[in-house]
Amino acid sequence: MPIILMLLGLIFRGVAFEFRWRTHRWQGFWNKAFFAGSFTAALCQGIALGALVQGIRIENRAYAGGWWDWLTPFSIATGVAVVIGYALLGSTWLVMKTHGELGAKARRLAYLSAVATLVAMGAVSLWTPFLSDVYLSRWFAWPTAAFSVIVPVLVAGCFALMLYGLKAHRDTLPFLAALGLFILGYAGIGISFYPYIVPPSLTIWDAAAPI
């Protein structure tokens, strides 16, 4: 369901983008439609990611869960975190590409979304190890526990670089730092997952097709 809703959101966003410049009377409506499609796509992408992280029941190589297994507090929190993160990427991109009134507005939004992204990443990261004993041992057992120390330090470094870039008007730096936050976030997920492709049931080798 989250994937279907995400695709519908992307389609609706594309339709809104196509029609908003064709009319003046309905431009406000299509602006809101563009926002709604973008928000839905980002939220559902995050919910799907959260549902994957929390685990998918598989028996005999077939899905064994229920219709609503994807809808949990953790998946909703992950969806909100992804929306906030995309807002950070968008605002820092606008900081890099625009100036004047729009650039100043994007800079203010970048400050807010940077703090919100850091809080959201921290909340999801602290929640994740307690979803499964596999994650708990992976995060706090040697040698993978080293990444549990290194990644937060790198996240703090990216956040500091972003604030410096926004304050010093080094307009490319905030966008690069935002990309760094996303890379580190997905690196943390990769550390938690490996060697599973569908945790906690299916490893990479189980899912590999025969040659």
pLDDT digits (tens, 9 = 90+) for 166-190: 999 899 999 999 999 999 888 777 7
pTM exceeding 0.95: no
The pLDDT, as a whole number, for residue 199 is 74
Is the bond into 195 cis (omega within 30 degrees of 0)?
yes
The pLDDT, as a whole number, for residue 209 is 63
> Tokens 């994007």 appear where?
106
The pLDDT, as a whole number, for residue 211 is 55
| 184 close to 151: Cβ distance less than 8 angstroms | yes
| 5 close to 44: Cβ distance less than 8 angstroms | yes
Q: What is the mean pLDDT of the chain?
A: 87
| 45 close to 6: Cβ distance less than 8 angstroms | yes
Q: Where are the beta strands (DSSP E) in 35-166?
A: 58-59, 62-63
Positive or negative, the CA dihedral 151, 106, 90, 88 is positive
Range of the domain at 163: 2-207
Alpha helices per DSSP H over 65-99: 73-97
Positive or negative, the CA dihedral 75, 77, 79, 82 is negative
CB-side neighbour CA atoms (13 Å) of 14: 6
Number of domains in the chain: 1
The pLDDT, as a whole number, for residue 90 is 94
Q: Which residues of the chain have pLDDT under 70?
A: 61, 200, 209-211
DSSP state letters, 156-187: HHHHHHHHHHHHHT-THHHHHHHHHHHHHHHH
The β-bridge partners of 58 are 63
The pLDDT, as a whole number, for residue 210 is 65
| 171 close to 95: Cβ distance less than 8 angstroms | yes
**Angle in degrees, 0-180, between the axes of helices 27-54 and 2-19, rounded to the nearest 10:** 160
> Tokens 């956040």 appear where?
159
